[in-house]
Amino acid sequence: MKKPWDGRFEKDTNELVEQFSESVSFDKRLYKHDIRAGVAHAEMLARCGLISESELVQIREGLRDIEKEIESGELELQVPLEDVHMNVEAALIARIGDAGRKLHTARSRNDQVACDLRLWCRDAIRDCTALLTNVQRALVEKAEEHRELIAPGFTHLQHAQPVLLAHALLAYVEMLERDRQRLADCLVRVNVSPLGACALAGTSLPTDPQSTARELGFDACFANSMDAVSDRDFAVELAFDLCLIAMHLSRLAEEWLIWSTPEFDFVDLDESFCTGSSIMPQKKNADVLELLRGKCGRLYGDLMALLTALKGLPLAYNRDMQEDKEPLFNAADTVQACLSVAAELVRTTAFKEENLTRACSEGHMDATALAEYLVGRGVPFREAHEAVGRAVRAAAADGAGLAELSLEQMREFSELIAEDVYRALGAQNCVENYRSHGSSSPAEVGRQLDYWKERLPR
Of the candidates 25, 52, 54, 277, the residue annotated as catalytic is 277
H-run or E-run covering 152: strand 150-155
Residues 451, 289, 304, 126, CA torsion sign? negative
Q: Which is nearer to ligand ARG, 122 or 325 (CB)?
A: 325
**What is the closest distance, in whole angstroms, from the C-beta atom of residue 110 to ligand ARG in the complex?**
5
**What is the closest distance, in whole angstroms, from the C-beta atom of residue 113 to ligand ARG in the complex?**
4
Q: Is 156 a catalytic residue?
A: yes
Q: Which is nearer to ligand ARG, 200 or 244 (CB)?
A: 200
Tally of CB atoms within 10 A around 167? 23
Pairing of strands 150-155, 158-164: antiparallel
**What is the closest distance, in whole angstroms, from the C-beta atom of residue 140 to ligand ARG in the complex?**
41
**What is the closest distance, in whole angstroms, from the C-beta atom of residue 144 to ligand ARG in the complex?**
47
Please say whether the beta carbons of 334 and 299 come within 8 A: yes
Q: What DSSP designation does 363 have?
A: S
**What is the closest distance, in whole angstroms, from the C-beta atom of residue 27 to ligand ARG in the complex?**
6
Cα-based angle 335, 339, 342 (whole degrees, multiple of 5): 135
Please say whether the beta carbons of 55 and 99 come within 8 A: yes
Distance CA 28, CA 76 (A): 10
Q: Which is nearer to ligand ARG, 319 or 437 (CB)?
A: 319
Distance CA 439, CA 434 (A): 7
Cβ within 8 Å of residue 453, ≥6 positions away: 140, 144
Closest CA to 88 of 19, 38, 45, 157: 38
Q: Which is nearer to ligand ARG, 107 or 142 (CB)?
A: 107
**What is the closest distance, in whole angstroms, from the C-beta atom of residue 29 to ligand ARG in the complex?**
12
Phi, psi of 401 (to 5 degrees): -90, 165
Q: Which is nearer to ligand ARG, 172 or 317 (CB)?
A: 317
Strand partners, 154: 159
Q: From residue 88, give the alpha-carbon distance in Å to each of 17, 31, 32, 36, 263.
A: 21, 8, 10, 11, 59
Question: What is the gyration radius of the CA atoms in the chain, in angstroms?
Answer: 31
Of the candidates 156, 272, 278, 437, the residue annotated as catalytic is 156
Q: Which is nearer to ligand ARG, 112 or 134 (CB)?
A: 112
Distance CA 339, CA 273 (A): 14
Q: Which is nearer to ligand ARG, 4 or 442 (CB)?
A: 4
Q: From residue 334, give the alpha-carbon distance in Å to each of 81, 98, 241, 328, 365.
A: 29, 42, 13, 10, 39
Closest CA to 68 of 93, 88, 54: 88
Contacts with ligand ARG, residue ranges (CB under 6 A)? 23, 27, 83, 85, 109-110, 113, 317, 319, 321-322
Q: From residue 417, give the alpha-carbon distance in Å to each of 98, 305, 361, 393, 406.
A: 94, 61, 21, 17, 11
Q: Which is nearer to ligand ARG, 27 or 67 (CB)?
A: 27
Tally of CB atoms within 10 A around 406? 8
Q: Which is nearer to ligand ARG, 85 or 180 (CB)?
A: 85
Peptide bond preceding 286 in cis form (omega within 30 of 0): no
Distance CA 365, CA 425 (A): 9
- What are the residue numbers of the active site? 156, 277
